[in-house]
Amino acid sequence: MKRLTLIFIALIALVGNAMAQVKFQKPDIPANSTSIYVANDLGRNGYFEQKTIAELMGWMAEDVDPEFVAAIGDVHHFEGVQSVDDPLWMTNYELIYSHPDLMIDWYAILGNHEYRGNTQAVLDYKNVSRRWVMPSRYYAFEKEVEDGNEKILFVFIDTAPLIDKYRRDTEDYADAGKQSIAAELEWLDATLAASDAKWKVVFGHHPIFADTDKNESERTDLQKRVKPLLDKYGVDAYVCGHIHNFQHIQVKDSKVQYFVNSSGSLARKSVKPIDGTQFCSGDEGFMVLSTSDNLMRFFLINHRGEIIYQYDVKK
C-alpha cells in the first residue's frame, strides 16, 4: 500500500509539472512528411534533464506529430531491469514519458546497459505496455510517406552482440555472446536487399563512427561487420546513441549519414570533431526525423528546445 501511495504521489507531481507550457523552437517539418522521434540513453529515474526533455517531447509532438519513438537503447541505465515488474519501468519510463502525445508506439532495441540485466524482460515488456513495441532483438518494417508515393524502411539492429568485447565479457554481458553474429548479419543483408523503399534508415545503439573515449574496438567491429552492408544497399542514415552527445559524421567514399543522438537525460560534454565531422555538441536532447517523397530532414534538439542543427538529404 505504501508503495502504491508513493507512486500515486509521484504521478500527480509529474502531471502537475507537465501542465506548464514548455517553450521550444518549432521544427520546419516538410509538407506531406512522416515524422518520428529518436530517444536513447534515458534511464535516470527522471533526474538530470530527463523529465525536462520528456515534457519537451510531449509539448512539441503537437507540431511534429511523430508516428512513433525510436527508443534505441539504454532506456534503463546501469544494470538494466530484472523483470517486467521491475519498478524501474515506472521511474525510468512510464511516469516520465506520461504526456498524452507520447502514448504512441515506442520501437525499442537493447543497449549495453540492458545487456547487464535481463534482456528477455525488455522483450517481454511488450506484453505489459501497449506502447512498448519490440518484436525481437532485431527487426525491420516499412512505412509509407504520409500523403506521398514513397516508402521508408526502418531497420533496428542489436549491436552489443556484434562487438567482441561484450561477447567476451561473460560476467557482465552474459547474453551477448549467446547471440549469433552470422544470423544477424545474414538477416540484415537479406532485409536490405529485399526492400524497394526509396529511403532506408538503420538504427543501432552503438556508433560506427564517433568521437569518444569508449574502446575503439566497439567501432572497428561495427565498421567491419555492418558498414559494408550499409554502403552496399545505399542506406541513407545510420542513427545511434551510446556516446551521450550529438554528432553528425560523413565518411569519405560513403553516402551514409552517420548520426549520434545525444542522451535524453545526461550528456557527456566533451566532444570534438574528427575526420568527417559536420557537427557535434555536448548538449542533452533528442532527434526529430522527418521524411517526404524527396527530402529527409534531421533536427537535433537540445534540452532547452533549441534546434541546434538541421540537415537535409535530398533525392
137 and 110 Cβ atoms separated by less than 8 Å: yes
Q: Residue 11: what pLDDT?
A: 47
Q: Residue 20: what pLDDT?
A: 59
Residue 267, φ and ψ in degrees, nearest 5: -90, 165
Q: Residue 22: what pLDDT?
A: 81
Please name which of 105, 110, 33 lies closest in space to residue 76, comparing C-alpha atoms.
110
Residue 39: CB atoms within 10 Å? 27
Superfamily of domain covering 2-314: Metallo-dependent phosphatases (3.60.21.10)
Q: Compute the residue count for the chain.
A: 315
Which residue is listed with cell 516538410? 30
* All structural domains of the chain with their residue ranges: 2-314
291 and 199 Cβ atoms separated by less than 8 Å: yes
Q: Residue 6: what pLDDT?
A: 44
C-alpha cell at 87: 519498478
CA distance 290 to 298: 7
Q: What's this model's pTM, rounded to 2 decimal places?
A: 0.94
| Positions of the chain with pLDDT under 50 | 1-19
State the DSSP code for 29: P
Q: Residue 204: what pLDDT?
A: 99
